[in-house]
Amino acid sequence: MSSESELVVLDHVSKQYRDLTALDDVSFSIRRGEVFGYIGPNGAGKTTTIKIMVGLLRQSRGTLTINGHRMPEEKEQAHRMLGYLPQKVAFQEWRTVDHALSTLGRLSGLSGHELERRITEVLDFLGLTKVRRKKIIQLSGGMVQKVGLAQALLHRPPLLVLDEPLAGLDPASRYQVKQIIRELSRGDTTIFFSSHILSDVQDVATRIGILNHGHVMQVGTLEELKAEFTITRDIAIALAADCSGWSDLKSLEGVGEVEQPAPRRLVVRVAGDADLDETGYRVMRELLDRGCRIRSFTPVTPSLDEVYLRYVGGEQT
């Protein structure tokens, strides 16, 4: 049973294509107002999840609800809640931006002055006002992607579902789309997006789900995912001034190696199964006793790339 804070709930969802299991007992929820990043290798089941979520596929078993409405049984009610940007945006290229959005807006239930006002507002929000009368074929790939985002936003959906929204964009367009995602989130729009660009997920997602071979491997904030395991057991230390005798730290209990990668910078590697906190305390105490001035003392945490590779076993996205 979902709570008031959960907008989307997948409960033991599976999808079978003949002999291929695309999704296998997938369960997670998307909380209201969050940016949920969904990552995994090609073929992991990301797009299948999204197609079930937006009502383009029926799941083999399990349930999926959007604001309490079951998909696809209550598709009409659920569709009022969501805007969808597919991985490959397909517009009829002979249409102008205005023509395309007018047609799609009517399909979303808008009409008349309300539709005209929303097209103007959304194009202004996305920085597309100047291309409103241009034909789709005249636009760059980044512009077409943003027009796709515009159609998803026309009816003010509280849930935005984006399938690889940053794929194929140049760095400037990727930056702009990420800024748009952040701004929408600040306006209480809940955003679910899949991506294979891990740095982009790390930049904008407030919570992350990792999918592999149709299984959800882990769900959590980046810090929660990092806390699930320790990839490195290093402590990075910045000193305010040169300090002699730091190499003697390796004689302390629990210390494996000590390196100086740069002046006034030390890296202490904790040995074997020694307690990280206790060893860190000994190192700090020793440095202070030697009169060293410590500017920062930080356990090294893994990047999202390292977390991802641990969960998917090094498979390529």
Q: What per-residue confidence (pLDDT) applies to 1? A: 47
Distances (CA, A) of 245 to 175, 237, 260, 284, 307: 46, 14, 12, 13, 35
Q: What per-residue confidence (pLDDT) applies to 234? A: 85
Q: What per-residue confidence (pLDDT) applies to 314? A: 55
Q: What is the pTM of this model?
A: 0.78
pLDDT in tens, 228-284: 765 567 899 999 988 887 878 989 999 988 988 888 899 898 887 788 889 999 999
Split the chain (317 residues) into runs of 10 and give each run's mean pLDDT.
81 92 95 94 91 89 93 89 89 91 90 93 92 93 89 94 87 86 91 89 93 93 77 83 84 90 89 84 91 88 78 62
What's the token pair of residue 57? 């596929």
What's the token pair of residue 83? 């805007």
